[in-house]
Amino acid sequence: MRRLVPALLALALAATACGSERPVTATIESRTLTVFAAASLTESFGTLGKRFEERNSGVTVKFSFEGSSALVQKLTQGAKADIFASADQANMDKAAKGEVLDGQPSVFATNRLAIVVGKGNPKGIKGLADLAKDGLTVVVCAPQVPCGAAAKKVQQTSGVTLKPASEEQDVKSVLAKVRSGDADAGLVYVTDATSAAKQVDKVDFPESAGAVNSYPIAVVKDAPQADLARRFREFVLSAEGKQELAKAGFGAP
């Protein structure tokens, strides 16, 4: 009987130890995908980013929305990102020349300009020529920004010369000035006018057909999350991605 006591005690201790062990649970690795994208992609890419997160556990999509020229400058100066989506081919070409891309870019959408005015169109603006009239405060994008380059081309092809009160660094800044009442009108993309339909009115003009911008997307060289970057790029180029972009007002590539 005395010999059984140590043995029983040892078994009891072993059982206690086993019972105190916590079940092992699998952990999901957290990863952040960094996307540099043109300001005009804010709404559509924001939606696509959320869907991408839902389908890729542990992934967070971090966006940096600015003018395409500013984003290219950051990339060529060493900023880390996984994806670059430009609002025109010219700035994507600059990125390629700066050797910051991994592979060839793919065009995923197109966009064109529209005039935005205050709700109710208080100045009665009907077309591009009206923006050249005296007494109007008009804002456009700076020439190095894709929407500014498009505005410049439209003026050249139409013969209408604008005298803007300011030249903004991205299309959202133009929209903000019209929305706040600091400007009577501005040249933005159709997509931006659509996204702000509750705050501004849109005036289409036929001359915009002469300056259609193509939107290319590419994986960035030495991307920290290269596999995710390629997956996101394919998602944007997919039928679902194109459907969401079309809903926002973008044209097909």
Same fold, 31-110+214-248 and 111-210: yes
Quick: pLDDT tens for 115-143: 999 999 999 999 999 999 999 999 999 99
Indicate if the pLDDT at residue 6 is higher than 70.
Answer: no
| For the chain, domain boundaries | 31-110+214-248, 111-210
Nearest 10 degrees: CA dihedral of 136, 180, 66, 145?
0
Which residue numbers belong to the known binding site?
40, 68, 171, 189
Q: What is the pLDDT of residue 65?
A: 98
Q: Across residues 151-156, what is the average pLDDT?
A: 96
Where does the pLDDT of residue 29 fall: very low under 50, low under 70, confident under 90, or very high at 90 and above? Answer: confident
Residue 25 has pLDDT above 90, yes or no: no
For the residues 103-109, what does the mean pLDDT come to? Answer: 97
**Rounded to 5 degrees, what are φ and ψ at 155?**
-65, -40
Question: Mean pLDDT for the chain?
Answer: 91
Confidence (pTM): 0.86
Residues whose CB falls within 8 Å of the CB of residue 62, separated by 6 or more in sequence, listed in order: 32, 33, 34, 35
- Tokens representing 179 are 């929305």
Nearby residues of 190 by Cβ (< 8 Å), 6 or more positions away: 111, 112, 113, 114, 202, 204, 208, 249
Residue 4: pLDDT band by 50, 70, 90 thresholds? Answer: very low
Q: How confident is the model at residue 92 (pLDDT cuts 50, 70, 90)?
A: very high
Known binding residues for molybdate are: 40, 68, 171, 189
Tell me the C-alpha distance between 150 and 156, whole Å. 10
For the chain, the distance separating the N- and C-terminal CA atoms, rounded to the nearest angstrom, is 88
Region 40-48 average pLDDT:
97
Range from 11-20, 27-36, 68-77 carrying the lowest mean pLDDT: 11-20
Evaluate whether 158 touches 130 at the Cβ level (below 8 Å). Answer: no
User: What class is the 111-210 domain?
Assistant: alpha beta
H helix or E strand, kind and range, residue 6: helix 4-20
DSSP string of 180-208, one letter each residue: HTS-SEEEEEHHHHHHTTTTEEEE--GGG
Q: Is the pLDDT of residue 194 over 80?
A: yes
| Local confidence band at 27 (pLDDT 50, 70, 90 cut-offs) | low
Would you identify the CATH topology of the domain 31-110+214-248? D-Maltodextrin-Binding Protein; domain 2 (3.40.190)
Mean pLDDT for 194-208 is 96
Whether the pLDDT of residue 22 is over 60: the answer is: no
